[in-house]
Structure 1
Amino acid sequence: MGTTQSGILYGRLPLAEYEANFSDLHPPLDKHEALVAADRCYFCHDAPCMTACPTSIDIPLFIRQIATGNPIGSAKTIFDQNILGGMCARVCPTETLCEQACVRNTAEERPVEIGRLQRYSTDIAMRENKQFYARAAATGRRIAVVGAGPAGLACAHRLAVEGHDVVIYDAREKSGGLNEYGIAAYKTVDDFAQREVDYVLSIGGIEVRHGEALGRDFSLADLTEEYDAVFLGLGLAGVNALRVEGENAEGVEDAVDFIAALRQSKTKADIPVGRRVVVLGGGMTAIDAAVQAKLLGAEEVTICYRRGKEHMNASEFEQDLASSKGVTIRHWLQPKRIAVKDGKVAGIELEYTTLEDGKLTTTGETGIIAAEQIFKAIGQTFQASGLGALQMESGRIVVDAAGRTSLAKVWAGGDCVLGGEDLTVSAVAMGRDCAESINRAFAADAPLASAVA
């Protein structure tokens, strides 16, 4: 074991235990298991699972193709709507989307395993490097995509298929965005995020420039002058502040940074974790941080959320997963003060909350939880410069139904837009649809006036 400057230990567990703890959360189906799972589908004509899928994948068709021994055809059905279908099969909250809508999801039955079936066919296609799309004749059009996350990659791929040339700019050293840096390590193992990026880029016509940030290395005005169109898939880079005493003490960290470090670690043994950890928040990021802290060897991990269980953004499946790993989830608590000793976290004082006439309020009753490490997972914020006069509202980019912004030649999609959801699959859908909108504009030979008043 070793100790960081803040006194938090790393290497708490034997190496073999790290490997076991961070193994695949949902191991892939083998051929027999996939056929059995596919046979449970009713192949509904007016399938509610399709309506529940943000990318509108023809779920009955791709499952029927698996059932008839055609996983490659199944993968094409998926990729036609969602080129990042392999990652979405791993990380989508299917329990609240397609599988929740499945007609077999009743008190007596469990839903069809749509997510695992989607992974089955897409894994086969990627493993065999099946390429379903060829670039159309070159159009001479050039599009800049800012952000190499799910929205940006989906947009770039669809544009490249249409024969346009695309340049992706990303501030980080790797492509993938949320898929590479923001998802629990046990949900996507074996460097799958980068393998999927390589698969997407293999269409050709897409150049990626890493280490180049909007507002630092170039502005939106620079891009609109150089390119025929611009797509902004910037994601959410900032983290909300607690705004309580002691927030800057050693041991208080952003959960997203913790998750990103874990994803980039080869052994996980070099990631420090406290003996007692508190995670603040109620979404997927809070669950991912808490579970992984436990898997790293923390003895006590507590999630504190200011509202009730039913208000948590994390799905019931994710909450149950955390509980199964030994994480304690406490509700109706919000941070009041970080207890600090010698500049380091010693604990956190929390105040009980309640709802009065629908408004959250505190009760005046407090308690303290001892901790060496506190992770903030209380929501991310959009932070970007170099956007010029782009219309914003509530800290997000305003777009119309086609993803067009207030500036001519500029589209946006994903978490950075007003109404965006913190879901990979939703970002993919918006990136794909913006590419179609850009292509229609080019076909009309009218490089768009702005669409947002």
Structure 2
Amino acid sequence: MSIKNNRLTNQDYEFNFADIHPPFETPDAALTEANRCLFCYDPPCMKACPTSINVPKFIKQIATYNDKGSAHTIFSSNIMGAGCSKVCPVEKLCEGACVYNLMHETPIHIAKLQRHSTEKAMKNQWQLFDRKPSTGKRVAIIGAGPAGLSCAHTLSREGVEVTIYEKEAKGGGLMTYGIAAYKVTPEFCEDEVNYITSIGGISIKYNHELGRDISIDELQRNYDAVYLAFGVGKARQLDIPGENLFGVTDAIKFIYDLRNNDYSEIAVGDKVAVIGMGMTAIDAATQAKRLGASEVHLVYRRTQEEMPCTEKELNIAKLDGCNIIWLAAPKEIIGDGENVSQLVCDVMELGAPDASGRRSPVETGQTFTLDVDMVIKAAGQMPFSEMVAGENLQNNNGKVSVQSKSKTSLDNVFAGGDCVNGGREVVDAVQAGKDGAAAILKTIISPDYIIESELKPTFNN
């Protein structure tokens, strides 16, 4: 057993990391699917979307050959609609709410239709929004991820000048650095960032980190408002013996390195254990398998009923040949010298429900051992507690505390996305950015200021 790179041929890597959700092969295929839609009154799919995309409207526009209008409808609610069409867990959102499910029929492929029109808009560089006249106001945003970009685009449309400070060398945040490469490529993420900023009035200062290169106090002096959208990123530690052995890494770093290098350069073990069962754990496990690992075990301390990932994501891991071990928790990592050689796990059982109704895992006293040469930790992410405290932000265990969706404890400083909620879906971050922009406009322009995204959508073609 060993950890090494270049396990596969270039052809293997290309095949393994090809688009897992390919688009419609022809325009006629998109039209056929669009015409399956029942165009429900009071549509449940729209209610299930955190950004309230008017799904029947954009599908009707596709069905009537109005792809540009369809893209406008989507982007009006979700400026990252193209990326979300690739990464959203639609089976528990819009497609999961489709009325066809009640008829025991295949739901409308909403994500695929959304991808059809949004990617066409990006490819053809359709400029679907005009900026309002300048308000003379300037806003600083920390983080060029989904929340930050959504806030920036909404503000720019309203005539506000926006400067985004991003600690990485590229924008996109989680989309660029934290999602499986077979779902969305770095090149697509770059194209999406460029498309969003092409409206004008948005500049991004890369390699600028809060607490290192800039401070909130400094930004407060130079801008009319500040929006914090720096997300989360620190991996939760297992706090078990052997965690510092060579071969132990966290899923965030593993995926980050994979997104920033050629696949052949990423070292992976022959026998890998991934701790956790969230989306990040699934992404790490499947990519380890696709990089050439012969065995990948997903270790989760609860049962399938409690898993954070969707069944669709779990099935991807199963189809890739990952082994699922339920009711198991890491106890100790054993090394052969300085290298990982085994993972010892406690056998768990579910105890009585707590106040929230969720049954907590408890040890049974039994253990088992896996022979592994790599352990990937995906047991959750931690907020940037030290940075938040250093900026004198009121917080809850490192998560920025807000009132009325986005107002922080500091004057004219707002926040949203993962740095507030601790980590949710990309689409939730997009909505948080819209909420933040609305709150900022009401503060720096007028308490009665209304933006288009706050208006109740109407269904028309």
The interval holding the TM-score normalised by the smaller chain is over 0.9
Identify which range, 31-40 or 366-375, moves more after superposition.
31-40
Which aligned pairs between 1:43-442 and structure 2 lie closer than 5 A? 43-106=39-102, 108-189=104-185, 191-266=187-262, 268-358=263-353, 359-383=360-384, 385=387, 387-417=390-420, 419=421, 421-442=423-444
Contact 1:413-1:420 within 8 A present in 2 as well: no
Provide runs of 4+ in structure 1 moved above 6 Å: none
Cα separation, 1, equivalents of 2:387 and 2:268:
34
Q: Show CA shifts across 1:127-169 (max 9, x none).
A: 1100111221111111110011000000011111111111101
- 1:17-42 deviation line (CA, Å, top 9, x unaligned): 10011000011112121111111111
Following superposition, the deviation at residue 222 of structure 1 comes to: 1.2
Whether the 8 Å contact between 1:157 and 1:200 is mirrored in structure 2 is: yes
- TM-score normalised by L of structure 2: 0.93
Could you say if the C-alpha distance between residues 239 and 190 of structure 1 is closer, same or farther in structure 2, counting changes exceeding 3 Å? closer
Which piece of structure 1 moves more, 134-143 or 311-320? 134-143
Secondary structure of 1:416's match? helix
Q: CA deviation at 1:205?
A: 1.0
Superposition deviation, residue 190 in structure 1:
6.6
- Whether contact under 8 Å (1:142, 1:164) holds in the other structure is yes
- Tell me the SS of whatever aligns to 1:243: coil
Indicate conservation of the 8 Å contact 1:349/1:369, yes or no: yes
Looking at structure 1, the residues matched to 90 and 278 of structure 2 have their Cα atoms a distance apart, in angstroms, of 16
Amino acid at match of 1:415: D
Separation (CA, whole Å) in 2 of partners of 1:119 and 1:199: 15
Matches of 2:314 and 2:14 in 1, distance apart?
23
Q: Secondary structure at the match of 1:186?
A: coil
Q: How big is each residue's C-alpha offset from its partner over 1:280-323, in whole Å with a ceiling of 9 and x where there is no partner?
A: 00100000000001111110000000100111111000001110
Structure 1 unaligned runs (5+)? 1-5, 447-453
SS at match of 1:355: strand
* Gap change, CA 1:298 and 1:63, over 3 Å in 2: same
**Structure 1 residue 225 displacement after superposition:** 1.5
Q: Distance in 1 between matches of 2:148 and 2:207?
A: 16
Distance 1:190 1:337 in 2: 36
Distance across 1 between alignment mates of 2:121 and 2:41: 26
Q: Distance in 2 between matches of 1:152 and 1:198?
A: 14
Shift of 1:360: 2.1
Task: Decide whether the 8 Å contact of 2:6 with 2:266 is kept in 1.
Answer: yes
- Counterpart-to-counterpart distance in 1, 2:29 and 2:430: 28
Q: Tell me the distance in 2 between the aligned counterparts of 1:206 and 1:65.
A: 30
- How many Å apart are 1:107 and its aligned residue? 6.4
Q: Which residue of 2 aligns with 1:451?
A: none
Give the distance between the partners of 2:392 and 2:291, measured in 1 at CA: 45
Aligned partners of 2:395, 2:438: CA distance in 1, in Å?
23
Amino acid at match of 1:365: Q
TM-score normalized by the length of structure 1: 0.95
AA aligned opposite 2:383: F
Q: What is the distance in 1 between the residues matched to 2:207 and 2:274?
A: 31
Contact 1:23 1:189 in 2 (8 A): no
Once the two structures are aligned, what percentage of the paired residues are identical? 45
Distance 1:295 1:106 in 2: 36
Check whether the contact 1:143–1:228 (CA below 8 A) recurs between aligned residues. Answer: yes
- Quote the RMSD (CA, aligned, Å): 1.6
CA shift, 1:265, in A, is: 2.1
The letter for the 1-side match of 2:372 is A
Contact map agreement 2:383 2:422 (CA 8 A) in 1: no
Contact 2:277/2:309 (CA < 8 Å) preserved in 1? Answer: yes
Q: Unaligned 5+ residue runs, structure 2? A: 354-359, 449-461
Amino acid at match of 1:374: V
Q: Secondary structure at the match of 2:419?
A: coil
* CA distance, structure 2, for counterparts of residue 99 and residue 377 of structure 1: 27
Distance 1:211 1:189 in 2: 21
**Could you give the per-residue CA deviations for residues 79-115 of structure 1, whole angstroms, max 9, x where no partner exists?**
0000000000000000010111000014631111001
Conserved? CA contact 1:155–1:435, under 8 Å: yes
* Alignment check: 8 A CA contact 2:243 2:333 kept: yes
Asked whether the 8 Å contact 1:259–1:289 carries over to 2, the reply is yes
